[in-house]
């Protein structure tokens, strides 16, 4: 049996393992490698909100950001996660004013500001929706280590689904990554984690 395919497969497995391990390490180190001061999640971006205004990461400085990437045509994961975020913030009372929830579309072809405005309104007055050009969305998704792609057989026309990461990111008032929450996190747990972060952070 030729050894080259086996060797190539082994190398790919090692690279995949290294990438997963790196992400886990990244999640535990919100300010990047020790002494570097460089965040491994997040960074500069320029997008458009649901009111058509150009916004950047600087517009959110001074407040925590609770960030989720998805799309308005998402049938299940996105509305579920946005409901969890909304409920968690409601449970926090006045403390929630220190946190800005943000929904970033990974489907800029369909998610115009007008579409986003109608959508985010379903999840309370706090939520901000962001979209942009395909290049702008690709850049911010790369900065946040977010995967997204049109799904399989439904990738043509305007009737399609999107595969995407389902992680909630918590960014600090300085714009740096603090932690992330998995899709299985419920509103009570998310609220408790957010309260603990606010309690222990300056």
Q: What is the pLDDT of residues 29-42, one digit of tens each?
A: 333 334 444 458 99
pLDDT per 10-residue tile (average), the chain, 202 residues: 38 35 38 47 95 96 96 95 97 96 97 97 96 97 93 71 93 94 92 93 70
Kindly state whether residues 25 and 114 are assigned to the same domain.
no
Q: What is the pLDDT of residue 40?
A: 85
Q: What is the pLDDT of residue 155?
A: 54
| 181 in a structural domain | yes
Kindly state whether residues 9 and 103 are assigned to the same domain.
no
Kindly state whether residues 19 and 113 are assigned to the same domain.
no
| 35 in a structural domain | no
Kindly state whether residues 95 and 19 are assigned to the same domain.
no
Strands across the sheet with 177-181, in order?
54-56, 46-49, 128-131, 99-105, 64-70, 168-171, 177-181
Give me the number of domains the chain comprises: 2
Kindly state whether residues 3 and 48 are assigned to the same domain.
no
Kindly state whether residues 178 and 79 are assigned to the same domain.
yes
Kindly state whether residues 67 and 107 are assigned to the same domain.
yes
Kindly state whether residues 111 and 23 are assigned to the same domain.
no
| 121 in a structural domain | yes
Kindly state whether residues 68 and 101 are assigned to the same domain.
yes
> Residue 20 belongs to what H/E stretch?
helix 4-28
Note the Cα 176 to chain centre separation in Å.
13
CATH number at residue 65: 3.40.30.10
| 73 in a structural domain | yes
Kindly state whether residues 193 and 137 are assigned to the same domain.
yes
Helices (H), 55-171: 77-92, 113-120, 134-143
DSSP E strand stretches across 4-127: 46-49, 54-56, 64-70, 99-105
| 90 in a structural domain | yes
| 133 in a structural domain | yes
| 36 in a structural domain | no
Domain span including residue 15: 1-30
| 25 in a structural domain | yes
Q: For residue 93, give every residue at least 6 positions away whose Cβ sits within 8 Å of its Cβ, in sequence order, or none.
A: none
Q: What is the pLDDT of residues 83-106, one digit of tens each?
A: 999 999 999 999 999 999 999 999
Kindly state whether residues 75 and 99 are assigned to the same domain.
yes
Kindly state whether residues 20 and 68 are assigned to the same domain.
no
């Amino acid at each position: 049996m030729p050894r080259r395919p086996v060797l190539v497969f082994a190398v790919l497995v090692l690279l995949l393992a290294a990438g997963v391990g790196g992400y886990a390490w990244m999640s535990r180190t919100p300010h990047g490698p020790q002494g570097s001061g460089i965040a491994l999640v997040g960074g500069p971006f320029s997008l458009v909100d649901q009111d058509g205004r150009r916004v950047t990461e600087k517009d959110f400085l001074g407040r925590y950001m609770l960030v989720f990437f998805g799309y308005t045509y998402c049938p299940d994961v996105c509305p579920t996660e946005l409901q969890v975020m909304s409920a968690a913030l409601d449970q926090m009372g006045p403390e929630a004013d220190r946190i800005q929830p943000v929904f970033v579309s990974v489907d800029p072809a369909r998610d115009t500001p007008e579409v986003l405005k109608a959508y985010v309104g379903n999840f309370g007055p706090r939520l901000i929706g962001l979209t942009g050009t395909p290049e702008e969305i690709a850049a911010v998704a790369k900065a946040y280590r977010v995967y997204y792609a049109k799904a399989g057989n439904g990738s043509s026309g305007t009737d399609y689904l999107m595969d995407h990461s389902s992680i909630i990111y918590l960014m600090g008032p300085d714009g740096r990554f603090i932690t992330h929450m998995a899709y299985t996190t419920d509103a009570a747990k998310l609220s408790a984690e957010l309260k603990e972060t606010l309690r222990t952070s300056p």
